[in-house]
Amino acid sequence: MAGIVTLVARTGILTLYEEFFFTRGHLVSHPLAASLVIELDAFRPQLDATLMEELTLIGERFAANAAVEFVDDDLDRLTDAISALTLIESKNDRGALPYVHYFASLRPSELKRPILGGQLDTMRHWPPSLQAASSKQLQAIGAELAQLVEHADQRTTAQATVGQKIADFRTLGPRKQCVDAFNALRKSLHGKLGEIQHKTPELGTGWANSFFRQGSSAERLSVKELDRRIAAAEVELNVMKKQRDEMVAQEEALARARADAEKSQKKAELQAARKADAELAARVAELEEAVGES
């Protein structure tokens, strides 16, 4: 007697329900197998508990993602405000301080493009200089940004934590345990159905197998279905590769911008120091002439 398909650990929770009700429906409908329904139904609480736990985790994931998106909106709002105020201060000169200190060669829209990520890493260094600015508005933004960076760190940490919880749940935790328990139960039921089949030859050789869906597991997919899934996965992979390339380019641009901003600031400080040195030298010469020491 051929075996039945073993459900793999990555089998989705709804697929488990389809397997459950397929088998249950067949057991209920056949008088020789109906007595086995009670064993299958005893598994239902574990299946339901696994579903509810996964739904809870999915809800936590969407809540965490939304929290990150909203804090990103706040960072974008402050980015625009800082850009506007520093451009006013520099008379719309994007090559002058303080605008270049924050944005260098980047446009605000380029800085805002990733959701947190590089933008957060860049803006977390801004509060001290903003709070030391002469503009009261920039000072207020600096204080708000300092708090917002803390919130953003908390929310990205929460997002990562939920992502890890879901991964653990599906690969090592309750869902895998549920799949393992279901496989053991299905194997046991298949064996008992096989005994009935053996005692009742007129049922036919495929009778026990008919109580379980055939080919529903990823281990028994057809070549055509595998090709379809591979093609879909390749499309998704290409999208992720493109996103990764864009993020790498963005991070490189931010790194260059920070380096340019630091260099521009040092140049400005050097020019100011040279000017002060020249003014001091002129004053010394003036005083020397006045006291007759020239």
User: 236 or 10, which is more confident?
Assistant: 10
SS (H, E, C) 145-177: HHHHHHHHHHHHHHHHHHHHHHHHHHHCCHHHH
Average pLDDT for residues 281-287, to the nearest whole number?
77
Place 1 in a pLDDT band, splitting at 50, 70 and 90.
very low
The amino acid occupying position 124 is: R
Contact partners, residue 107, CB within 8 Å, separation at least 6: none
Q: How far, in Å, CA of 194 to CA of 203, rounded?
A: 10
Residue-averaged pLDDT of the chain: 85
Backbone angles phi, psi at 47, to 5 degrees: -65, -45
Rounded to whole angstroms, the Cα distance separating 69 from 41 reads 42
Domain locations along the chain:
13-216, 221-294
**Average pLDDT value for residue range 264-282:** 75
Which tokens is 27 given?
Answer: 């057991």
Q: What is the pLDDT of residues 97-153, one digit of tens each?
A: 888 888 877 788 888 876 777 888 889 999 999 999 989 999 999 999 999 999 999
> How confident is the model over 61-111, as pLDDT tens digits?
999 999 999 999 999 999 999 999 998 888 888 888 888 888 877 788 888
Grade residue 3 by pLDDT with cuts at 50, 70 and 90. confident
- The mean per-residue pLDDT over the stretch 215-242 comes to 65
